[in-house]
Amino acid sequence: MSKKIALITSGGDAPGMNAAIRAVTLQAEKYQYQVLGFIGGYNGLIDNHFITLDCHKVDDIIRKGGTILKSARCPEMLDNSGPKRVVETLESNNIDSLIVIGGDGSFKGCLAISELWQGNIIGIPGTIDNDINGTDQTIGFWTAVETALDSIDKIRDTANAFERIFIVEVMGRNCGFLAVESAIGSGAEHIVCKEIIEDEVQFIDNLLVNINKAIRNHRTDSYIIVMAENSLSFSAHELSKKIERYTGVDSKAAILGYIQRGGSPVAPDRVLATQLGVAAVEAIKANKSNIMVGMLNNTATETAFSATSYSNTYNQKIIRRLNQLNFNLD
Catalytic center residues: 129
Q: Which of 220, 227, 231 is nearest to 253 (CA)?
A: 227
| DSSP-derived 3-state class of residue 51 | strand
For residues 130 and 177, the answer to whether their CB atoms sit within 8 Å is: yes
| Beta-sheet strands, E only, within the chain | 4-9, 34-38, 50-53, 97-102, 120-125, 165-170, 190-192, 223-228, 251-255, 291-296, 299-304
Rg (Cα) of the chain, in Å, rounded?
Answer: 22
Rounded distance between C-alpha atoms, residue 94 and residue 91, angstroms: 5
Q: Name the packing angle between helices 104-114 and 81-92 (round to 10°).
A: 70
Residue 269 · residue 256 · CB < 8 Å: no
Angle, helices 236-247 vs 200-216, to 10°: value is 50
